[in-house]
Amino acid sequence: MSQVLYDVPGPRAIARHRLYAVVGGLVVLGIVGAAGWKLWSEGAISGNKWSFFEEPQIVEALLEGLLVTIEAAALAIGLAVVFGAVFAVGRLSDHALIRWPSTVVVQFFRATPVLLLILFFFFAYASRLGAFGALVLALTLYNGSVLAEIFRAGLLAVPRGQSEAAYAIGMRKTQVTTLVLAPQAVRSMLPAIISQCVVALKDTALGYVIGSGEIVYEAKQIFRSPVYNNPIPVAITLAAVFIVINYSLSKLAQSLERRLARRGERVIQTEQIESGMGTGTPL
């Protein structure tokens, strides 16, 4: 894509770019090095700050936390797919009595911060849901309403001729949607659904606030303990874990997207969902 902005460089431009590369590389290295030196000289990442890795109990607690994280994300996404499917169909309904409430629900949950939802469910229903339940419910409602928009865009993106032909041979609307539109839409939406998994996985970290036992909450116990008092090494560890998982998921979504595009099939991009309200971007 960079080719939009400049031609393939000739010999003189290549030499110039090499000079920029050396200078730029030194500047970048200098900034990263200065940050690293600052961390090191203040003793924030010195060897003993990492010693929690030598405690089998702590590593085990972290791994169990990771399991809870994945469990929460998987549960939330699974439920969100159902929620999204129901409300996407609701928003496309011919009956105003179904269409309007669905629209209100979807827009409401898209516009409300996830943390506000989590805290609300935690304060209002903690006795019945527990912290884990509150986290999963909030994530389900938020991701479900985002998925509803993705599904709706996917159904609308199937060429008009498909539904016209289905109606012409006498199918009812339910049949058209379930037999003709949905099977064609699902493939185009797969990348967007996987990207939404990344969002859900990242948002499970909000369980930190209500203590739902996921990995960030477990990690808090480490850096809060006076023995370690090491927020920076712990945060780096957490970031590394999330980056590995989310980066692989994003790569998977990208390769699926490329495969669909190569076959000339439609791909629903989250950015295509009109910014009317709430976020289409996985943030």
Partner 1 sequence: MDLLPQIGEMLPRILDGFLVTLKLTILSLLLSTVVGAVLASMRVSPVAPFRAFGTSYVNVFRNTPLVVMFIFVVEGLPQLGVRPRFTTLGLGYFEMYAIIALSTYTAAFVCEAIRSGVNTVATGQAEAARAVGLTFGQTLTHVILPQAFRAVVPPLVSVYIACTKNSAIAAAFGVLEATGQLSSLIEDFPGSVYLAFFLLAAGYMVLVFVLAGLSSLVERRWAVSR
Binding-site ranges for partner 1 (CB under 8 A): 1-7, 9, 13, 17, 20-21, 24-25, 28, 38-39, 42, 44, 107-108, 111-116, 119-120, 123-124, 198, 202-206, 208-209, 216, 219-220, 223, 231-232, 234-236, 238-239, 242-243, 246-247, 250, 271, 274-281, 283
For residue 151, the tally of other CB atoms under 10 A from its CB is 27
Cα–Cα distance for residue pair 67/214, rounded to 1 Å: 8
**How far apart are the C-alpha atoms of 66 and 60, rounded to whole Å?**
10
Q: Which of 180, 146, 187 is nearest to 164 (CA)?
A: 180
Nearer to partner 1, 18 or 78 (CB): 18
Name the residue nearer to partner 1 (CB basis): 51 or 281.
281
Residue in the block written with tokens 């009812």: 172
The minimum distance between CB 209 and partner 1, in angstroms, equals: 4
CA 17, 22, 26, 28 torsion: positive or negative?
positive
- Nearest approach in angstroms of CB 238 to partner 1 is 5
- Whichever of 166 and 219 has its CB closer to partner 1, that residue is 219
Question: Rounded to whole angstroms, how far apart are CA atoms 14 and 255?
Answer: 32
**Least distance from partner 1 to the Cβ atom of residue 163, Å:** 27
Count the Cβ atoms, other than its own, within 10 Å of residue 159: 10
Q: How far is the CB of 82 from partner 1 (least distance, A)?
A: 23
Residue 24 Cβ, how far from partner 1 at the closest point, in Å? 5
Comparing CB distances to partner 1, the nearer of 167 and 278 is: 278
- Do 122 and 136 meet the contact criterion of CB atoms below 8 Å apart? no
Min separation Cβ 178 and partner 1, Å: 31
Closer by beta carbon to partner 1, 2 or else 174 = 2
Q: Compare residues 55 and 271 and give the one whose CB is closer to partner 1.
A: 271
**Spatial distance between the Cα atoms of 150 and 156, rounded to a whole number of angstroms:** 10
Element (H, E) at 224: helix 215-224
